[in-house]
Structure formats: structure tokens, C-alpha cells
Amino acid sequence: MLKCLKIFTIPLIMLALTGCDILSNELSKKDTPASIAPSATSSSESIKLGEIPIQASIAPSATSSFEPVKLGEILIQTDIDTYTPYMSSTVGIGLTPVYTLGRSPESVKFHWKTNYGYFVSWKAPDFKVNLLGADITNNGDKIYWSYSPDEMGKEKPAVQISLNVEDATSGEVLTKFTLEIEWEKQDIAKVKK
């Protein structure tokens, strides 16, 4: 039975952990969550405490938005809050699903859609930008939302990014979340809080 959900913020790591009894016993020994958590060398790694799978995500920036997730829900963690295609440090707004579904990650798929712009992947080892499109399905890996520099200076619609978590076999929608992006000064995409 789920007693509580605690979120610990550790430099570069945001980790959702359940099982307060386990955690309080460990913390009373002056251990940190990092010392009892598995290695966080990948950008997204699933762990199990008891029977409930939890998503652990590396947060690449102190400006990341992150909120606690209730059992059976999903949120989209962003690594930056504003973006324009002329930024040289990133290819878009990084999007990572943060979830507690109570089932194995292999039994679900993540269906992303946007009404404007497109998704790209950008990861090690070559950091090559791969255009994915405006409607994609993946296994929960981090993706980026971006838009074409050709659209700079033009009127743009408010952006909605929807994420449906679906059963990998039946396609049934288990949970969903929508992230909204607004515009500042016409060309700066800003995550709506």
C-alpha cells in the first residue's frame, strides 16, 4: 500500500521515491537518497521499490520544472522554460516523462503530439539532431520540442504538447498530460506554469 510520495532534489538528480518506512530508516542512518538509489548514469532509469515502478530522471538544469507525481499520473519535466531556435546551447525544450504507473515500463508506450512545431531527438554519443515529427511514439526517452527558424517573426499559435501513456498491447490510454507553451515577443517559446 502506498503510504506517501516524497520528492528529493539532489544536484543533477530528481528522484521520486515511495515507501516512507524504508526511506526514513535509511535517512535516520544519515544516508542520502543518492546513496540508496541505483546509479543515475542514464537520462531516464526505472527502479522498483516494493511493487511500484518509479521514474528517476536526471535534471540537466537548475531551471527545470518538476512537480510531485501521484500514483497513476504523469507529468512532463522540462529542462528549460524558454526557447528560441537561435539559442546555441540546445536544440529545443527538453521533455522527459515523470510517472508512477504501478506497472513495468516495458508494458507501456508514450504517445507525444504537438499542434505546432515538431519533436527531435538529440543524445550521446554523437549528439546528432534527428527530426521525429509532430506525432510520435517512444518508450519514455527524453525528446525535445522545437520549431523552424523560418517561422521567426511570424504569428504562431499557442502550443499544446500532449502525452498519452498507452498500454503497449491494447493501445488503451492509461493516463495523459498536456503541456502548454506561450509566446513572448513573438518568437520566444515559454512553458506555461
Query: What are the pLDDT digits (tens) for 96-112?
Result: 999 887 888 889 999 99
Q: Is 9 helix (H, G, I), strand (E, B) or coil?
A: strand
Rg (CA), the chain: 17
Query: What are the pLDDT digits (tens) for 118-164?
Result: 999 998 888 899 999 999 999 999 999 999 999 999 999 999 999 99
pLDDT at 76: 95
Predicted TM-score (pTM) of this structure: 0.65
Sign of CA dihedral 182, 61, 32, 76: positive
* 166, 174 Cβ separation under 8 angstroms: yes
